[in-house]
Structure 1
Amino acid sequence: MRNLLKVVVAAVAVFLVSQSAFAADKVLMVVSSHQKLGTTNEATGFWLSELTHPYFVVKKAGLDITIASIKGGEAPIDPRSLANMDKDTKAFLGNPNTRKLIDRTPALASLKVGQFKAIVFVGGHGAMWDFPSNKAANRLAVGIYQRGGIVAAVCHGPAALTTLTLPNGKKLIAGKKVTGFSNAEESAMKLTNVVPFSLEDKLKAAGATYESGPMWKSEVVVDGRVITGQNPSSAHDLGVAVAKALGH
């Protein structure tokens, strides 16, 4: 009987240790797999700096990162985001160890909720097409949030947030303060009539209180465990906010 008790105690101890370590330091970053900019002949995808800026911030904070795309495989970089490369984007693409993270991404649907403490939806216009109403995005983001984790998104990444629905039927961002690429910024890019919807309007329709700062300037909104950034300039600060929310 005493030996049996020792076995049970040891098993419980192993379980508790594994649970405490489980997903303790892991962040999931999600990029788009969509490559065509509406009915134009232009290519799109994810915005490179909106991945690399928070990636390096979060990595430096000591967190592990998985980069996944909607479909898996090679994730398309929006060509326009390659026009003004900075040290982070150059470092990410120039290092085979990081470059392979976007060349061979796992499909979002293949991942499990319990692996992660936070999910970050990376922007780029592609997100406007394949983030909303994606079942895997909803399962993972809602699951992470319900387990006490962080849901974050930057620029067009909040397109995913517009359809995230809790088990009770309520939108996850209802009653939350959020930001995302503004109508003014979309108009300045002359893409208002190209994108499938207004991100600003759709966030409001989901019950969120939309906030924005000056165009092209960093603006990060933190409302509890929902963290959003307005535009590419906000990506670094979004990473800082995510790391801070995770205690790093």
Structure 2
Amino acid sequence: MSTILTVLTSHASLGETGRRTGYYVSEAAEPWRTFTAAGHTVDLASIAGGTPPSDGDWDGFEDFRPVAAAGTLPVAGADPARYDAVFLAGGHGTMWDFPSSGALAALLASVYARGGVVGAVCHGPAGLTEVVLPGGAHLLAGREVAGFTDEEESAVGLTEVVPFSLQQRLTARGAVVRPGPPFAANVVRDGRLVTGQNPASAQGVAEAILMALSA
């Protein structure tokens, strides 16, 4: 069985709106269920460690609440040699602290370079945008991916709130974005890189990660 690290955002402020954000509950809870039900070990980390801020409805996910409340290790303290896969849960908070975390970029590069699987869903792919592999190639260069689209960001009214367009940043890093219909499940697997477009894609991303691990 594998050991999987799920990474959550530590960022709690939704820009200058005065509203709170964090990781999106279902995008962490559904993959956690899928991984653990398959017998894998799941560790939780966040950029700052401790108990990270959450966003979204806990209804139906009460089994995950004590797991999250128990706290997370800081990404900088995670040993990449321990993990067969790293999964980046989404939530708008990721748009602020995932790209700026050198520790996260280094962790992802190390796990991937060792033959591990990297996955992300919704806004989680923001954490992939600064990952450079040993040798200097960008993780995303030429890779097919999915992520929260400009159309979806506009639909939730946050285009002018988020610090950048995720879809455009992925493209700028050399990725080939494969968008699906707004808010419908869309999972893209490119070898050992697995990404999903939105909350509806979370379970599918987890299942695709398990497929990549067994390949």
Q: TM-score higher than 0.5 here?
A: yes
State the partner residue of 2:108: 141
TM-score by length of structure 1 reads: 0.84
Superposition deviation, residue 139 in structure 1:
1.3
State the partner residue of 2:98: 131
What secondary structure does 2:119 align onto?
A: strand
Superposition deviation, residue 234 in structure 1:
0.2
Superposition deviation, residue 169 in structure 1:
2.3
Deviations 1:71-93 (A, max 9, x none): 00111001xx12xx443x13322
Instruction: Read off the aligned partner of 1:223 and give its amino acid letter.
Output: D
State the partner residue of 2:53: 76
State the partner residue of 2:8: 31
Query: How far apart, CA to CA, are the structure 1 residues paired with 2:39 and 2:146?
Result: 27
Larger Rg: 1
What secondary structure does 1:160 align onto?
A: helix
Q: Does 1:198 align with 2:175?
A: no
Contact 1:75 1:103 in 2 (8 A): no
Contact 1:122 1:154 in 2 (8 A): yes
Instruction: Read off the aligned partner of 2:157 and give its amino acid letter.
Output: K
State the partner residue of 2:34: 57
State the partner residue of 1:92: 64
Q: Does 1:213 align with 2:180?
A: yes
CA distance 1:196–1:48, shift in 2 (3 Å)? same
Superposition deviation, residue 207 in structure 1:
0.2
Instruction: Read off the aligned partner of 1:43 and give its amino acid letter.
Output: R
Contact 2:113 2:134 in 1 (8 A): no
More displaced stretch, 189-198 vs 135-144: 135-144
Paired residue total: 215
State the partner residue of 2:190: 223
State the partner residue of 1:12: none
Larger proportion of strand? 2
**Aligned to 1:104, which of 64, 71, 74?**
71
Q: 5+ residue gaps in structure 1?
A: 1-23, 94-98
What secondary structure does 2:73 align onto?
A: coil
**Aligned to 1:47, which of 5, 20, 24?**
24
Contact 1:178 1:208 in 2 (8 A): yes
Contact 1:54 1:235 in 2 (8 A): yes
TM-score by length of structure 2 reads: 0.97
Query: How far apart, CA to CA, are the structure 2 residues paired with 1:204 and 1:247?
Result: 29
More displaced stretch, 183-192 vs 160-169: 160-169
Query: How far apart, CA to CA, are the structure 2 residues paired with 1:133 and 1:76?
Result: 18
Q: 5+ residue gaps in structure 2?
A: none
State the partner residue of 2:125: 158
What secondary structure does 2:18 align onto?
A: coil
What secondary structure does 2:54 align onto?
A: coil
Deviations 1:198-233 (A, max 9, x none): 000000000000011111111000001100000000
